[in-house]
Amino acid sequence: MVAGGRGAAVGVGLAVVMVVLGFQICSAQITRSGFPSGFVFGTASSAFQFEGAVKEDGRGPTVWDKFSHSFGKVVDFSNADVAVDQYHRYPEDIKLMKDMGMDAYRFSIAWSRIFPNGSGEINEAGVDHYNNFINALLANGIEPYVTLYHWDLPQALEDKYNGWLSPQIINDFAIFAETCFQRFGDRVKHWITFNEPHTFATQGYDVGLQAPGRCSILLHFVCRSGNSATEPYIVAHNVLLSHATVSDIYRRKYKRRQRGVIGISLDVIWFEPGSNSTEDIAAAQRAQDFQLGWFLNPLIFGDYPTSMRSRAGGRLPRFSQPQAALVKGSLDFVGINHYTTFYAYHNHTNIIGVVLNDTIADSGAFTVPFKGLKTIAERASSIWLYIVPRGMRSLMNYIKNNYGNPLVIITENGMDDPNNPFKPIKEALKDEKRIRYHDGYLTSLLAAIKEDGCNVKGYFVWSLLDNWEWAAGFTSRFGLYYVDYRDKLKRYPKDSVQWFKNFLAS
Q: What residues act catalytically?
A: 196, 412
> Residue 91 region, left (φ>0) first, then alpha (ψ -120 to 50), else beta?
alpha
101: left (phi over 0), alpha (psi -120 to 50) or beta: left
E-only strand ranges, 95-224: 104-108, 143-149, 190-195
Pairing of strands 417-418, 408-413: unpaired
Determine how many CB atoms are found less than 10 A away from the CB of residue 15: 18
Coil, strand, or helix at residue 108? strand
- Write the CA distances from 361 to 92, 311, 353, 357, 453, integer angstroms: 45, 10, 5, 7, 35
Which SS3 state, helix, strand or coil, does residue 389 take?
Answer: coil
- Tell me how crowded residue 372 is: count the other CB atoms within 10 A of its CB: 6
**Phi then psi dihedrals of residue 191, to 5 deg:** -115, 135
CB within 8 Å of 501: residues ≥ 6 apart: 99, 100, 101
Contact call for residues 235 and 204 (beta carbons, < 8 A): yes
Pairing verdict, β 190-195 and 261-267: parallel
Cα dihedral across residues 237, 238, 244, 248: positive or negative: positive
Q: Assign 3-state DSSP to the chain and report helix, strand, coil percentages, each to 5.
A: 45, 15, 40
What is the spatial distance between Cα 317 and Cα 309, in angstroms, rounded to a whole number? 9
CA distance linking residue 502 with residue 286, whole number of Å: 41
Strand spans (E) along 104-216: 104-108, 143-149, 190-195
**Residue closest to 246 by CA, chosen among 300, 170, 318:** 170
Q: What is the CA angle 181-252-175, rounded to 5?
A: 40
Report whether 435 contacts 398 (CB < 8 A): no
Alpha carbon 324 to chain centroid distance? Answer: 25
CB neighbour list of residue 176: distance below 8 Å, 6 or more residues apart: 111, 114, 115, 118, 119, 148
Kindly list the distances between the CA atom of residue 66 and the CA atoms of 11, 54, 155, 188, 304, in Å, as whole numbers in the listed order. Answer: 49, 12, 8, 31, 33
Q: Which of 180, 92, 99, 196 is nearest to 144 (CA)?
A: 180
